[in-house]
Amino acid sequence: MKAIVITTPGGPEVLKLQEVEDPQIKDDEVLIRVEATALNRADTVQRKGSYPTPKGASPYPGLECSGTIESVGKNVSRWKTGDQVCALLSGGGYAEKVAAPAGQVLPVPPGLSLKDAASFPEVACTVWSTIFMTSRLSAGETLLIHGGSSGIGTFAIQIAKYRGSRVFVTAGNEEKLAFCKGIGADVGINYKTEDFVARVKEETEGQGVDVILDCMGASYYQKNLDSLNFDGRLFIIGFQGGVSTEFDLRRLVGKRLTVQGAGLRNRSPENKALIINEVEKNVWPAIAESKVKPVVYKSFPLSEAAEGHRLMESNQHTGKILLIP
């Protein structure tokens, strides 16, 4: 098969389409012929050599895909050859075929194209496992999403609104903020021209938000704590603003705050299967009802993966970027 190979750590130009061996499936895996895969920020970090693949995972990038099952392992009962599915992967999505644990496979939601289904597994599992399963965001509470126009952001806006929350987002220009409002965000904050802490306080009568989903890390840490209400929860999923900071612990204690963090890729297959099960139960109905829609900015042929990475790193996009083998 053909796959995108990271020929050496570096810029987008190191991504090359090459002929490689077909994946061999284990007894609890399925082999998927890939219809589409989606880019994630982690792919760019892996390309630079800073995000090694978990033990036993495919060396090729790609953390999600959609496609048609070509074969199933002997212990797999739910799936059969010919099923149209999407899947959460530990790697290998940038290829014509990929092996996936059966517990990380989802049916394509009704009414959704096979191609667009590739845009959901990573964002749905990330958002559901963080702000819902862990931070326990509930109806009537307020959520602040940093990077509201990203793949994760555009999904989080829709699912949080569907479940009855008031949603605040930050983004870097008025066009992105307008898009976020168009898919349900209640308050848009331009982080380049506004102080998000002051705006959050203004919009919440001085109280702050209940939950924050943060991709920035160190650079926003103190400001995030200042933006939270009593019993607020900060969930960190990225470090685009650095990994190290100093802060005053009294802020945590005084407002009874909780700081949480997690990734998805290095979780155990059992833990991922649990998240997938929750996503199918709680998120898939919202997609089937068209209350949560795919937000796909652009699709590239698999051979143009480098162009996809350049677009992602330019931050000009809104939503997801797909690669099509």
| Spatial separation of the C-alpha atoms in residues 27 and 75, rounded to whole Å | 5
Question: To the nearest 10°, the Cα dihedral for 63, 64, 67, 72?
Answer: 70
- Write out the two tokens for 293: 């829609």
SS3 for 259? strand
pTM value? 0.97
Residue-by-residue pLDDT tens, the chain, 325 positions: 999 999 999 999 999 999 999 999 999 999 999 999 999 999 999 999 999 999 999 999 999 999 999 999 999 999 999 999 999 999 999 999 999 999 999 999 999 999 999 999 999 999 999 999 999 999 999 999 999 999 999 999 999 999 999 999 999 999 999 999 999 999 999 999 999 999 999 999 999 999 999 999 999 999 999 999 999 999 999 999 999 999 889 989 999 999 999 999 999 999 999 999 999 999 999 999 999 999 999 999 999 999 999 999 999 999 999 999 9
| Spatial separation of the C-alpha atoms in residues 103 and 57, rounded to whole Å | 15
Q: Which residues are within 8 A (CB) of 269 and not within 5 positions of it... i.e. 6 or more apart? A: 101, 103, 104
| Spatial separation of the C-alpha atoms in residues 2 and 18, rounded to whole Å | 5
